Chains A and B, each alone.
Chain A
């Protein structure tokens, strides 16, 4: 059986959007896929040693609010100071209660399974990011490097 390949571009840096790349990659790796993720723009936040990702209800009509809060102050309420940390805390607690893996754990599992993590060099320069802030064993490269793998992939996702 020829090894299948999964290529992912991860562009988002919020808590909720951090999950899909790591869940899909670790699962695919467990199924024997060869996997590469190209992290660009806000997706680079997912490569930081210390993950401090947030989730916000602001401008997100799909986000469930606790205690029916959205009925009382639909839009303005989500802009209240501190609302973002409250929602981030609640989301993290819910995930832990439901046995959803932590992001660091999933990321480690990906690395253990040889999922290749590639940081977009251009974005690193653009935002003056320091590679010392990123986890070890990642590669720095450009879009051409991504296409080298993506062009041969069986599944290619933009997240």
Chain B
């Protein structure tokens, strides 16, 4: 797992909350910083891809581990 600056645990939350919370966390961060998001909603995999594409915040990593989904997003 690469380094990150902030972490957001969105476990147990369903669409669209992981995206909304991630957006909120990113807003509070400086450009270039990396946010680590943990989610349990399987839909979040495609959602974070789409979020990254549409907002320009780069999705550095997306992987599953023990039923949890981990994302690293770099604020643009």
Contact = CB atoms under 8 A, between A and B. Distances in A.
B19 A27 contact: yes
Contacts of B55: 30-32
Contacts of A23: 15-16
The size bracket of the interface on B is 10 to 19
Contacts of B12: 99
- Tell me the interface secondary structure of chain A in the complex: loop
Contacts of A100: 14
A1 interface: yes
A37 to B, nearest CB: 15
A1 B50 CA distance: 16
A32 B40 CA distance: 24
Given A1-B56, A99-B41, A30 B14 contact: no
A109 B23 CA distance: 11
Interface in A19-66: 23, 26-27, 30-32
Interface in B27-66: 40-41, 50-51, 54-56
A14 to B, nearest CB: 20
B56 A30 contact: no
9 contacts: A27-B20, A30-B23, A30-B55, A31-B51, A32-B54, A32-B55, A99-B17, A101-B14, A101-B17
